[in-house]
Amino acid sequence: MKTILDHTKLHQKYFEEMTQIPHGSYHEEAISNYLVAFAKAQGLRYIQDDMFNVIIYKEASSGYEDHEPLVLQAHMDMVCEKNKDSVHDFEKDPLSLRIVDGWLMANHTTLGADDGCGVAYMLAILSDDTLKHPRLECIFTVQEEVGLCGALHLKKDQFDATRMINLDDESGYATCTTSAGGMNVLLDKEIIRIQEKMDGYRLSIKGLAGGHSGAEIDKERGNANKLLVRILYGIMQHFGLQLAQLKGGLMDNAIPREASALWISDGNSEKIEAYVKAMAADIKKELEFSDAGVQVILEKTQIDSYVSVEESEAILKLMMLLPDGLRHHSMSIEGLSTASSNVGVVHMDDKMLHINCSLRGALESYIDEFAAQIDTLAELFGFTTRHVARYPAWSYDANSQMRETMKEICKELTGKDLGIMATHGGLECGVFKSLKPEMDIVTLGPVMKDIHTPKEALQLSSFDDTYAFLTAFIQRL
């Protein structure tokens, strides 16, 4: 492997090693086994559970035996997003890395800095016998990006500490104090295909910015699934339409950047083309500041099978009405989203249509309301629903000694005040707080941008600086 990072810096070395091991959500076995091999090589006690979560324990360094133990925590899975023309296979291929103006990126795919940086920090700390620290319980979880499933599988008797540093953050010299809860609603509808070759159309939406469905939901970026259906619904109303294929989005917690549909229509092709062109102009105008690169592409193609007029109407009407985007924002914390939904993934196969909606809320009642709305729509249009991967919110703790100590270290190192933040993203902190209500939790991580998109980038100077901050913080504890 040709390396591009500085392997004299342990956190950079371990991060680059992880980019060579596929580790998307639900496919963490290889990276989990890598962590186990690391623990064995270091002579450290470990646990690997049946979901492939790993906990590695390290006893306190000399002089720190009487200090309270500390949990370090990060998730090992990454969001697997790529550009449509990329041939990268996330289940087999290592990532291809490049550095652009001090930012580490992958070629045409997500980078996995969320949360490979946290994992790399923990491995660097565990392998550094010169670092002073209390007893460490390093928890590496799976399936965080698809509902915090790994964290929800943990048992509270697997760790003793009531102090924790969550390393799933993208803010540099800042810490998060609260995060949203969430749940996924899966919608399914059985379809019956008419097997007949026909002249038809392909409609594609491309070039959207996308992004994290928690962090970027307030930016009103276009959702490719919803935009696609909006145009198809209009075509259905004006010219008639029968669906053959519907596909959009790769992850429930990423705002969909691309979507496409195959369909047939008896309408006049010139009028259909003119309608799509007019709709495209409207959409480009609406998104000129959030998604300037949006493309709406109409092509003629051959269709092998399609569904009935009635089923097409039910699918498009449901998707037109599905709640999507920001619903509520905080009245007390400026810029904080407090309730949203993301129509993240749509897929139509030979027999079924599947839709995955990600719901987020600072209050449980917000999530319940969204779910009830979607259940009602599903019933009206012949869909079934399942509620999965529910996870708790992390509420603000006004009396965090960990946060006060972190403020002191930040001031000493930088001369500046620690940034205090709240997020609409879902963090595993809420799960740990539910396991141990007395747990005092802070978050920390290097500066990143455009996570959950192929433009994801890690600022290498911040990667180094934040590690220095983290180790100084741990030594103070």
Residue with tokens 């470990």: 46
Please give the pLDDT value at position 332.
Answer: 81
Q: What is the mean pLDDT of residues 195-207?
A: 97
Share of the chain above pLDDT 70, in %: 100
Distance CA 122, CA 118 (A): 6
Distance CA 186, CA 191 (A): 16
Residue 68: CB atoms within 10 A of its CB come to: 14
Range with the lowest mean pLDDT among 160-174, 183-197, 327-341, 395-409?
327-341
Q: What is the mean pLDDT of residues 447-474?
A: 96
CATH 3.40.630.10 domain locations along the chain: 10-179+394-476
Please give the pLDDT value at position 410.
Answer: 97
Q: What is the pLDDT of residues 113-160, one digit of tens each?
A: 999 999 999 999 999 999 999 999 999 999 999 889 999 999 999 999
Residue numbers annotated as active site = 77, 144
Whether residue 465 is preceded by a cis peptide bond, meaning omega within 30 degrees of 0, is: no
Q: What is the mean pLDDT of residues 375-380?
A: 98
CATH code reported for the domain at 183-391: 3.30.70.360
CATH code reported for the domain at 10-179+394-476: 3.40.630.10
Structural contact between residues 363 and 430, judged by C-beta atoms closer than 8 angstroms = no
Range with the lowest mean pLDDT among 163-172, 226-235, 329-338, 372-381?
329-338
DSSP letter for each residue of 361-404? ESSHHHHHHHHHHHHHHHHHTT-EEEEEEEE--B---S--HHHH
Distance CA 285, CA 264 (A): 28
Does 356 have pLDDT greater than 80?
yes
Nearest to 182 by CA among 332, 356, 402, 10: 356
Q: List, in order, residues 6 or more apart from 161 with CB less than 8 Å away.
A: 68, 69, 70, 71, 135, 137, 439
Does 223 have pLDDT greater than 90?
yes
Does 1 have pLDDT greater than 80?
no
Please give the pLDDT value at position 132.
Answer: 96
Q: What is the mean pLDDT of residues 53-66?
A: 97
Q: What is the pLDDT of residues 322-352, one digit of tens each?
A: 999 999 998 988 888 999 999 999 999 999 9
| Length of the chain measured in residues | 477
CATH 3.30.70.360 domain locations along the chain: 183-391
Work out the mean pLDDT of the chain and round it to a whole number: 96
